[in-house]
Amino acid sequence: MTVSIERTGDIAVVTIDNPPVNALSHALRQDLWNAAEALDADPSVRAVILICEGRTFIAGADVNEFGKPPIPPHLPDLVARIETAAKPWVAAIHGSALGGGFEVALGCRFRVAVPSASVGLPEVRLGIVPGAGGTVRLPRLVGPALAAEMVTTGTPVAAPKARSQGLIDAIVEGDLEKGAIDFAHAALDQSLPLPLSQRGVPTVDETFWETTRRAVASRAKREDAPLRALACVRKAAEADFEGAIAFERQTFLELRGSSQAAALRHVFFAERAAPRPPELTGVEPRAIRSAAVIGGGTMGAGIAAALRDAGLPVTLVERDEVALERGLSNLRSIFEGAVKRGKITAETAAERLSGVTDTIDYSRLAGVDLVIEAVFEDLEVKREVFDKLSAVCRLDAVLATNTSYLDPEQIAGNIRHPERFLGLHFFSPAHVMKLLEIVPTAQTAPATLATGFALARMLGKVPVRAGICDGFIGNRILKTTRAQAERLLLSGATPQAVDTAMRAFGLPMGPFEAQDLGGLDIAGFQRRAARARGETPFAPIAERLCALERFGQKSGGGWYDYAKGDRSPQPSKVVAGIIAEEAGRTPQRQWDESGIIDCIILPMVNEATKILQEKVALRAEDIDLVEIHGYGYPRWRGGLMHYAEARGLAEIAVKLSELAAMDLAEPANFTGD
Ligand code: 3HC
Ligand code: NAI
């Protein structure tokens, strides 16, 4: 039984209990329908409170049912049933009222919520539009402007703001059920407001729709749902209620079966599964109550900020007083930046900073639960650091390295109790980027690994387990991306053509613009280290640019030229000359957009498949999460592996064979460096 009914005097309380998030499964819809029928027939009931057990109010339609044919009672009918009930219903909200959950609340005559609750219509994030009247009732409640913003961004609104915007009628401090009953009694003493379906939509300025359409289109890029959601709100303003409901439902059903919705659903479930991998079921993580970071450079400062954001006290260790002062100043600028962007208040920033103990004395680490090393990418320097940590830290403290390319097995060297060691590979900027690659060595204990995942949960990161190889999952695939991009240049494409094609595919930036932004020197150092290890990295043009100190935007030129104070990339004659020289006799071809995309993306798929075969990644979804959260791969394509599946593996194999036969530089070699 997912719904129970109790009576308190003349008020009925309908309680939903459908763990984990009270999603509107078929059984729940049926139970709610039955409850509405029963309560309408009960003359002793004057009003109904709708409240939920567990962590949240109804979090939406049941996404698991999206692949299946809908079974009645359909959600729009249920919302209409509640709205037309003989007694007014009051939604009593805690946690989140999202999607279909908020639509049910809009069907209720009133909405009250605890201060920590939030409400919203996040359907566009799943590639769909609200399907149970959300786009039609919301503009009747708060006007088209706020409705358009909510349905096109999907961003939930916190209760205090929701109250001031008219999305909810009251905030309940203290016990929600009691507060809702008191609210209902007070409301019954006055005349009831009209149900939303019977209200009109406030008019907007003539220019509103076109201005908003342009803004939404530029934000959404190639995602379909946001513009379709806006069209629904417009319909609500221009047609009658029934017409608008029919239009919304039609749009919802169309998008529900779309490839973008399938991709976004795939990412939704992958993200939710990531923090709790099945192989660690039942393994207790170690408790993390304090942490230390060694090195306060780009990564160390970002990691320390992320740890402080999660409320952990942090000790920051540097090699000398000057470096320590620089590290603290890096950390300070991160928090100041957050204040400037309105993310936190100046007081919170001061509190975060005051939770950092700075020192050059390793003995101060004797009591910490977790240490993350982020010093120079140099094996000897890192090994020295871990020798010191091994000497001073508690034997059960978890010790982690943030290395990008070094072998964690070698870094662990001869520390005492190597079972507590692992790689925790953050991405830059570490306090912003969601991806965390968790890299166990052969000796890492399951409890240590579980601690890595528990830490990711604390920090709000998306954790992915990665095996040891050059670059782990993400940077190994990145090497293929970059090698293919250079091969394209050697065979007739220009940097602009490559970048434009990859943007058209959905990446926020093309590979060359991205390198100019991040700096070509970092990859240059890595290639030098790889050569020292006896490898032969493939980056003939990038090498020449590094030799000319064309490191990107910071040096006024890289793959492109940059005018002083202007970040817009300009084609470079110098680079064109170098490309021509390096190309030599390589056959030149005409590349169109889809040819460029295939030449980069399909070898990435190939490399990712090897990563999967070698068990460097355990699941295809993990690779998808790495690409989306570490490298800006478009969510609506579902990640690299989902894209490959959706396109069809047979076609990909054929295209890869064609590429191999093209005789690009380093023919038939799609393994990157
Ligand atoms: N349907 C089915 N399962 C859902 C679900 C949904 N709408 N929302 C969450 N779940 C599941 C998760 O998959 C997870 O399952 P698991 O434990 O087996 O891995 C479990 O519920 C818990 O989810 P979280 O780990 O995300 O729990 P949190 O407490 O961190 O967050 C939440 C709770 C804020 C409600 C978050 O789950 C969330 O944002 N859910 C999605 C809400 C949403 O997108 N709703 C709109 C759905 S579409 C819709 O309603 C269409 C309508 O207009 C017709
Ligand atoms: P960085 O050069 O900005 O910072 C390194 C810091 O370590 C410096 O502040 C230095 O003073 C300090 N340090 C050096 N030796 C030390 C010692 N013995 N004890 C204490 N502190 C010491 O380097 P960055 O970019 O922060 O990289 C750090 C690590 O993170 C490297 O292993 C790098 O490969 C890895 N990494 C870097 C990423 C990036 O984008 N920059 C991304 C992911 C990982």
Residue 27 in tokens: 């059984």
H helix or E strand, kind and range, residue 41: none
Q: What are the two backbone dihedrals, phi and then psi, of residue 21, each rounded to the nearest 5 degrees?
A: -130, 20
Pocket lining: 122 vs ligand 1, CB cutoff 6 Å: yes
With beta carbons less than 8 A apart as the criterion, state whether 129 and 251 touch.
Answer: yes
pLDDT digits (tens, 9 = 90+) for 346-397: 999 999 999 999 999 999 999 999 999 999 999 999 999 999 999 999 999 9
What integer is the mean pLDDT of 276-300?
A: 97
Share of the chain above pLDDT 90, in %: 93
Q: How far is CA 552 from CA 145, 514, 533, 549, 607, in A?
A: 42, 9, 26, 9, 27
pLDDT digits (tens, 9 = 90+) for 305-344: 999 999 999 999 999 999 999 999 999 999 999 999 999 9
- CA nearest to 79, candidates 45, 38, 50, 43: 50
Residue 322 in tokens: 């000057």
Domains plus CATH for the chain? 3-257 (3.90.226.10), 288-465 (3.40.50.720), 474-661 (1.10.1040.50)
655: alpha, beta or left? (left if phi > 0; alpha if psi -120 to 50): alpha
Coil, strand or helix at 24: strand
Share of the chain above pLDDT 70, in %: 99
Query: H helices within 431-519, ranges in order?
Result: 446-459, 474-490, 495-505, 511-518
What integer is the mean pLDDT of 257-271?
A: 96
- CA nearest to 634, candidates 267, 197, 120, 318: 267
Provide the pLDDT for residue 671: 39
Query: H helices within 116-166, ranges in order?
Result: 134-142, 144-153, 159-165
Atom of ligand 1 nearest to the CA of 75: 54
Q: What residues flank ligand 2, with Cβ below 6 Å?
A: 294-300, 317-319, 323, 327, 374-377, 381, 385, 402-404, 426-428
User: Is 123 assigned a catalytic role?
Assistant: yes
Burial 253-266 (b: 16+ CB within 10 A, else e): eebbebbbbbbbbb
The torsion of the CA quartet 409, 415, 416, 420, rounded to 10 degrees, works out to: -50
pLDDT tier at 204, thresholds 50, 70, 90:
very high
Provide the pLDDT for residue 402: 97
Q: How far is the CA of 128 from the centre of ligand 1 (A)?
A: 15
With beta carbons less than 8 A apart as the criterion, state whether 464 and 473 touch.
Answer: yes
- Mutation to probe ligand 1, out of 63, 245, 252, 269 (largest number of atoms < 8 A from CB): 63
Beta bridge mates, 314 = 291, 356
- CA nearest to 96, candidates 125, 67, 118, 64: 118
Residue 332 in tokens: 């300070």
Atom of ligand 1 nearest to the CA of 56: 35
Entry pTM: 0.93
Q: How far is the CA of 14 from the centre of ligand 1 (A)?
A: 21
pLDDT at residue 552 above 60?
Answer: yes
pLDDT digits (tens, 9 = 90+) for 515-541: 999 999 988 988 888 888 888 889 999
The DSSP secondary structure of 442-460, one letter per residue, reads TT--HHHHHHHHHHHHHHT
pLDDT at residue 64 above 90?
Answer: no
Q: How far apart, in whole angstroms, are the C-alpha atoms of residue 420 and residue 289?
A: 16
Q: How far is the CA of 90 from the centre of ligand 2 (A)?
A: 55
Provide the pLDDT for residue 667: 41
Residue 358 in tokens: 């700075």
Pocket lining: 131 vs ligand 1, CB cutoff 6 Å: yes
Question: Helices (H), strands (E): how many in the chain?
Answer: 27, 17
What integer is the mean pLDDT of 164-187?
A: 98
Atom of ligand 2 nearest to the CA of 302: 26
pLDDT tier at 67, thresholds 50, 70, 90:
confident
pLDDT at residue 69 above 90?
Answer: no
Q: How far apart, in whole angstroms, are the C-alpha atoms of residue 545 and residue 608?
A: 28
Provide the pLDDT for residue 447: 98
Q: How far is the CA of 294 from the centre of ligand 2 (A)?
A: 8
Atom of ligand 1 nearest to the CA of 121: 46
Beta bridge mates, 52 = 16
Q: How far is the CA of 616 from the centre of ligand 2 (A)?
A: 25
Which residue owns the Cα nearest ligand 2 atom 4?
A: 297
Pick the catalytic residue from 37, 65, 123, 336: 123
Q: How far apart, in whole angstroms, are the C-alpha atoms of residue 134 and residue 252?
A: 11
Q: How far is the CA of 399 from the centre of ligand 2 (A)?
A: 16
Pick the catalytic residue from 6, 37, 103, 581: 103
Q: How far is CA 652 from CA 95, 187, 244, 594, 646, in A?
A: 44, 63, 42, 13, 10
With beta carbons less than 8 A apart as the criterion, state whether 103 and 79 touch.
Answer: yes
Provide the pLDDT for residue 669: 40
- CA nearest to 89, candidates 14, 141, 23: 14
